[in-house]
Homo-oligomer: A and B are copies of this chain.
Amino acid sequence: MTAQTIVRVNLEIFTVKKEVIENRGLLLGGRSLTSCIVSGEVPPSAHPLSPENTLVISPSLLAGTSAPNVNRLSIGAKSPLTGLIKESNLGGTVPFHLAKLGIAALVLERQPKEGWFYLYVNPRGVEILPAEQYLGLWNYELVERLQRKYGPEVGIISIGPAGEQLLSAATIAGTNLEGMPSRHAGRGGLGAVMGSKRVKAIVVDSQGMDAITYADREAFQRSAKAFARKLIEKSQNTTKYGNLVLVNIINALGGLPTYNFRQGSNDFAEKLSGEYAADILPGRGGRMGHACSPGCVIRCSNIFHDAKGRYITSGLEYETVAMLGSNLGIKSLDEVAPLDRACDEIGLDTIEMGNALAVLAEAGKLEFGDSKAALALIEEVGKGTLLGRILGSGAAVTAKVFGVSRVAVCKGQGLPAYDPRALKGNGVTYATSPMGADHTAGNCLPGRGKPNPHSPEGQVEHSRDNQVRAAALDSTICLYVGHSALKEVAPLLEARYGLPVSEQDLLRLGRETLQRELAFNQLAGAPQVNDLPKFFRDEELPPNALRFDIPLEALQNLFE
């Protein structure tokens, strides 16, 4: 079996240190490992942009294997946006490469006094190289140049101008299977932490490494195949319509943010939907059913071409379409796609930018529905203007600067694309998750045996359960396999590492991860619960006249 190592790059004294993980039985990988290292090594009161913060990059525990949907990359640090511990994950090819290199975590420590660098991670080690020639580049051009140098097969994570400017909405981009920087560790401003380390990009190249080994290859293959079949079966709609399938579903539920959370549904959602995308894209040379990472069988991603057949963006996701589309009154995918591309280029969280632009609309500085103006505003961040810096600092800062009180943030973070009045479990998650108002930290979509999302009944339990499961999934596999899939994940881990692993073990891993994160946040001086902005409790959400009505006390008791 390839030795599993933690590779530490100290960017103050330019050293690279390897630690060998001797006992994989601890099941630390992905989020469980990033949160373990961040909570154990970063002083909770450290400023997120100071040398004391640490950026931890860890592939999921099953990355690199032949199981389906396992190539996920967790990135963790103390967040400049929330001031809390953060993990944000993405697909693409980098986790696959890191896993093949036997790297369980790449840890960026400290920061240089000057200069900019990029890392070349390859079978011989980690090279720290000068990056001055890449400064200011947007992600697509940056990646293209690096691919020219290192070949098309490498995986790359990188920051755009937003991360260079240390802005709190900055992402870390990762290349997808086509080598496009369209996957993002989007939430919490981790791109600014990478920027504070003065690392513009990390090129990961596993060429020449042997394939991953297994404690029990046959058992692994058997479990993997059965699991893949099941996923393919149950994901048919997602494969067909991408995760954009959610547009019509959440619109019908009355929870689709529209006009800065003034409505939960609208009459233009159809043109933003996955069904519509599936209609138009094939004729344009784009496609649905796109896999962003090796071995993905759900294929929720897409490749979006415009009406003239030109590539615009890839992985146009529900969150983006809701927050940069319907919530801004922007009414078609053709208008949203360039906004997504601009965010991918500049390295910006589409959810945070959607909320920040909605704040500008409240301030009378943007008309709802004006996608051209929205694009120009996003590009301000890329240009490094003052307005760009403000927007790139996120919705809460934008609201302060423009004196706007209607701002959908919780724990400093813009709300994702599920109005918490119509999806009350999500509201519970926003208020209580150590991750802030995050769409992946315990999303409570309705389903068989699940609480009615309009009712307060059962939401606290539903959120808690999904928060635990999400923490375990974020350590092992793509969240899209579903919160209930831990029982299928357990035998894969067992066959991979030769250790007894049950669903219960994974639930314990999820709980322990959450506990670590909550403890860090407490030491950082943060309250465990932040109530949602008051307007969610006061204003009735059309069309179902819903309010967020989970008692604060119930939120406070969630983790007790």
Contacts and interface: CB of A to CB of B under 8 A. Distances in A.
Interface string A505-529: 0000000000000000000011101
Most chain B C-beta atoms within 10 Å of own C-beta, residue among A168, A386, A529: A386
Given A196-B403, A389-B401, A405-B50, A531 B527 contact: no
A244 interface: no
A401 B405 contact: no
Contacts of A50: 405, 534
Interface in A427-450: none
Contacts of A387: 386
B401 A397 contact: yes
B45 A531 contact: yes
A192 B404 CA distance: 11
Interface in A63-92: 80
Nearest to A534: B45
Contacts of A371: none
Interface residues of A, number: 41
Given A386-B386, A387-B386, A403 B167 contact: yes
A293 interface: no
How many copies of this chain sit in the oligomeric assembly? 2
A534 B43 contact: yes
A166 interface: yes
A411 to B, nearest CB: 10
Interface in A387-412: 387, 389-390, 393-394, 397, 400-407
Interface string A196-216: 100000000000000000000
A390 B535 CA distance: 25
Contact of A525 (B195, B401, B530): B530
Contacts of A165: 403
Contacts of A503: none
A52 B167 CA distance: 32
Nearest to A394: B400
A99 interface: no
Contact of A49 (B389, B393, B405): B405
A262 interface: no
A47 interface: yes
A129 interface: no
B403 A534 contact: no
A555 to B, nearest CB: 10
A535 B526 CA distance: 19
Interface in A131-156: none
Nearest to A80: B400
A404 B393 CA distance: 12
Contacts of A46: 534
A273 B166 CA distance: 39
A533 interface: yes
Given A49-B405, A525-B531, A393 B400 contact: yes
B166 A52 contact: no
A405 B197 CA distance: 13
B527 A195 contact: no
Contact of A534 (B47, B393, B533): B47
Max chain B Cβ within 10 angstroms of own Cβ: one of A50, A400, A525, A526: A400
Nearest to A537: B45
A425 to B, nearest CB: 20
A405 B168 contact: no
A108 to B, nearest CB: 16
A525 B534 contact: no
A80 B402 CA distance: 12
Interface in A363-379: none
A133 to B, nearest CB: 22
Interface string A483-501: 0000000000000000000
Nearest to A81: B400
A192 B534 contact: no
Contacts of A529: 525
B533 A405 contact: no
Nearest to A389: B401
Contacts of A403: 49, 80, 165-167, 192, 195-196
Contacts of A45: 531, 533-534, 537
15 contacts: A45-B537, A47-B405, A49-B404, A50-B405, A52-B534, A80-B403, A165-B403, A166-B402, A166-B403, A167-B403, A195-B403, A196-B403, A389-B402, A525-B530, A526-B527
Interface of A: 43, 45-50, 52, 80, 165-168, 192, 195-196, 386-387, 389-390, 393-394, 397, 400-407, 525-527, 529-531, 533-535, 537
Top 3 nearest A-B pairs by Cβ distance?
A166-B403, A47-B405, A49-B405
